[in-house]
Amino acid sequence: MTEPRELLRDLVETPSVSGEERAVAERLVAYFEAHDREAYLDDVGNVRAPADDSVLLTSHMDTVPGDIPVREASGELWGRGACDAKGPLAAMAVAAARTGVSFVGVVGEETSSRGARHLVETRDQPDAVINGEPSGWDAVTLGYRGFVKGQFVAETPSAHTSRPGPNALEYAMDWWHDVETAFDEEGDSAVFEQVTTKPVAMDGGVTEDGLAFESTVEAQLRVPPALTVADVRATVEDALPTYVGEEATVDVEWTDAIPPVMESPRNRVAAALRAGIRGADGEATHLRKTGTSDMNIYRGAWDCPMATYGPGDSSLDHAPDERIDLEEYDRGVAVLTAAAERLQP
């Protein structure tokens, strides 16, 4: 087994559900130390291997839950995280060790992006960034939608259900209907260009003291690059019921936001990755993804060229049959190595 494949298998065999990344982090530190590189864990558990900052290679160490027995079959490595994102993570570690560029393995991408948030707060801006997520070895991801998370809350005085007038539960239902309607105008445009609205939790009923009705709706909305987080928040707030009685309250409490990102295909990171793909006998394509990644965090903080790249089929992210083609992984290592060399002065 080649060293890059051995590293990949070790990482996949080591569970690292969000919040439990330390064992994988220690394996990466050992890998860099074995290649005479400084590496250490920072205050939140990110692996930092600082070096030539002409480009920072960075991917996440955490996975979603799910026990998939690790095995090789038909040239593929199966296991949780094989695709998202230990394939890109291992490929970046190998490329960084070979070329002497900076590397960071971050924690918490699948939950709060706390590793990426800590990174941008505690290190200088690099000259360029390649973020690691599965794109396929011959594709470069340039865009991600942003993310807004909030909670609708309402309270109305308790009353007999035979009495007319809306209670807190009805306010919540009306509000959500109006939110969905407000974003319907996107019509037949591509999903990437739309605001996707999703309720993720609902609760309500009579309060414990019996004196009021209350309701809460936790919601997540994806923000396309044509809009800002502020645009989406304003539309959601405009949908709040306006027929509220004097003793009732309705509000939206915002809890998190990540701006969208759309990079130019002409930036030098995308160009370096395309050159690497051509050098491996591929023809590069560009992708826009409907989700959100740590690249959104980096773009929000750093004014440098960036793109996302990594071996692996993203349709297998979080899936019960998650796996990565090992030849594709090898090509991903070669592409990242060539791109990092091209970005160095």
Report the CATH number that the domain containing residue 207 is assigned in CATH. 3.30.70.360
Does one domain contain both 29 and 134? yes
- β-pair partners for 307: 130
Same domain, 150 and 136: no
104 and 247 both lie in a single domain? no
Q: Does the annotation mark 62 as catalytic?
A: yes
30 and 82 belong to one structural domain: yes
d(CA 231, CA 241): 19
Catalytic residue among 42, 52, 84, 109: 109
CA 121/CA 297 separation, integer angstroms: 11
| Catalytic status, residue 218 | no
Rg (CA), the chain: 23
Residues 242 and 296 in one domain: no
Number of domains in the chain: 2
Domain end call among 227, 258, 289: 258
Same domain, yes or no: 125 and 247: no
Strand-strand pairing, 129-132 and 146-157:
unpaired
Residues 113, 36 share a domain: yes
- pLDDT, position 137: 97
Give residue 252's domain range.
146-258
Model confidence pLDDT, tens digit, residues 252-297? 999 999 999 999 999 999 999 999 999 999 999 999 999 999 999 9
- Residue 212: predicted pLDDT: 84
For the domain that residue 301 is a member of, what is the CATH number? 3.40.630.10
**Residues 126-149, mean pLDDT to the nearest whole number:** 97
pLDDT band at 164 (very low <50, low <70, confident <90, very high): low
Q: Give the pLDDT confidence score for residue 81 in this predicted structure.
A: 98
| pLDDT score at 281 | 96
H/E element, 180: helix 168-182
- Let me know whether 16 and 121 are in one domain: yes
* Mean pLDDT across the chain: 95
- 1 — pLDDT class (breaks 50, 70, 90): confident
Residue 246 has pLDDT above 80, yes or no: no
Domain stops at, among 258, 284, 307: 258
pLDDT for residue 50 is more than 70: yes
Model pLDDT for residues 166-209, shown as the tens digit of each residue: 888 999 999 999 999 999 865 567 899 999 999 999 999 888 88
Which residues does 334 contact at the CB level (< 8 Å), separation at least 6? 276, 279, 280
173 shares its domain with 249: yes
Mean per-residue pLDDT, 316-330:
97
Same domain, 220 and 157: yes
Residue 212 CB coordination number (10 Å) = 19
Domain boundary among 258, 287, 319: 258
The pLDDT tens digits of the residues spanning 58-86 come to 999 999 999 999 999 999 999 999 999 99
| Catalytic member of 3, 21, 33, 62 | 62
- Tell me, yes or no, whether 28 and 100 share the same domain: yes
